[in-house]
Amino acid sequence: MTHLWVRAEQRPNEDRVGLTPEGAKALLSGGIKVTVEESSVRAIPLQGYIDAGCEIAPENSWPTAPADAIIFGLKELPEDGTPLPHRHIMFGHAFKGQHSGKALLDRFAAGGGTLYDLEYLVDEAGRRVAAFGYWAGYAGAAVTLKSWCAQQRGEICGPVGVYPGKDALLTELGAELKAVPADVPTAIVIGAMGRVGTGAADLCEAMGVTVTKWDMAETASGGPFPEILQHDLFLNCIFARPGTPVFVPAEALTAARKLTAIGDVACDPDSDYNPVPIYAEATSWEAPALRVANDPVMDVMAIDNLPSMLPVESSEDYAAQLLPSLLTLTDLKTGVWGRAETTFLDFVPA
């Protein structure tokens, strides 16, 4: 019997999960065994999984799971260097030239396991079958707007946290905007036709921010793009890949510009293809904004687990998208899983 083991997330500030109790019940009905670890942080309570009929395991016990179990989580594993013998479903961040990805792939090579990277679960046309993009864009735009508000107060953005829902976020952000003396800012979103960009634009428009929406047609020239510098906020919603243009080069920091706050929602500073190469590492919930220039000021927001700020909505949305693929776990050699394994084999050391 195919066995899916849903692990507890071990990364700080990560409350999401990729399977809801309703989804677990559907998998059980489809003949797939489901084990769910206890979790001290998961936004969806354990009782729902118990009621669905899942087996329950202690938190972080996945290393001792049966050898044939498929371990399912979202974010990174602890970086302890141990070999990985299991099959894992997660975001590996290892296939786009990320320098930290080599260590993960080496662990799979050492243990003989397989990575089914969630970012590379694609249909026959190469489109991702599930993504957190919308809520990443929504939360990323919110934190970028918070960074801009902090600038108007002569400050840098302070810590951010988890919200029980988007209404609470909008209420807090609206109060911050109302309290600053400046006019409502303008924003430009690149990747506006995608899930991430749609979420970013929706948040901005909910806050009364005028949004310029760009996508492939507007960036086909390859740059430079001086129009970006004429907006208060820039939201990058295009994932780094070979051929992605540079949107904000280093010389922009000293150029005449209106731009003071960048939200790199795609957040791939460790990639060779980073389209915003003015910073080198992700920011954090404790320090959301990195100041990269002072005259005039420029802050970059680059948190890499933004959807966890709205963990219930983002978990439910993502899990619904992913469930049809999880229901096909009984055949890992074809479809989305077969394609994901082929991608892994292209990158893992021999």
pLDDT for the residue 272: 86
pLDDT for the residue 98: 73
96: annotated active-site residue: no
**How many Cα atoms within 13 Å fall on the side-chain side of residue 282?**
16
- In angstroms, rounded to a whole number, what is the distance separating the alpha carbons of residues 234 and 10? 31
- In angstroms, rounded to a whole number, what is the distance separating the alpha carbons of residues 279 and 282? 8
User: Hey, how many other C-beta atoms are within 10 angstroms of the C-beta on 21?
Assistant: 22
* Domains by residue range for the chain, with CATH: 3-120+311-347 (3.40.50.720), 133-309 (3.40.50.720)
Residue tagged active-site, from 75, 86, 146, 166: 75
Query: How far is CA 64 from each of CA 69, 78, 81, rounded to the nearest angstrom?
Result: 10, 15, 16
**Edge-to-edge, what's the strand order for the sheet holding 210-214?**
210-214, 186-190, 233-236, 261-264, 297-301, 289-294
pLDDT for the residue 260: 98
- The reported pTM is 0.86
> Cβ-count burial of 151 within 10 angstroms (0-12 exposed, 13-18 middle, 19+ buried)?
buried
Residue tagged active-site, from 86, 88, 93, 96: 93
Closest to 209 (Cα-Cα) out of 249, 253, 161, 173: 173
75: annotated active-site residue: yes
Q: What stretch of H or E contains 322?
A: helix 311-326
pLDDT for the residue 330: 97
Q: What b/e sequence results for 328-346 when a residue is b if at least 16 CB atoms lie within 10 Å of its CB, and e otherwise?
A: bbeebeebbbebbbebbee
Closest to 165 (Cα-Cα) out of 16, 321, 311, 22: 311
Regions in the chain scoring below 50 on pLDDT? none
pLDDT for the residue 268: 86
Instruction: Check if the beta carbon of residue 311 is closer than 8 Å to that of residue 162.
Output: yes
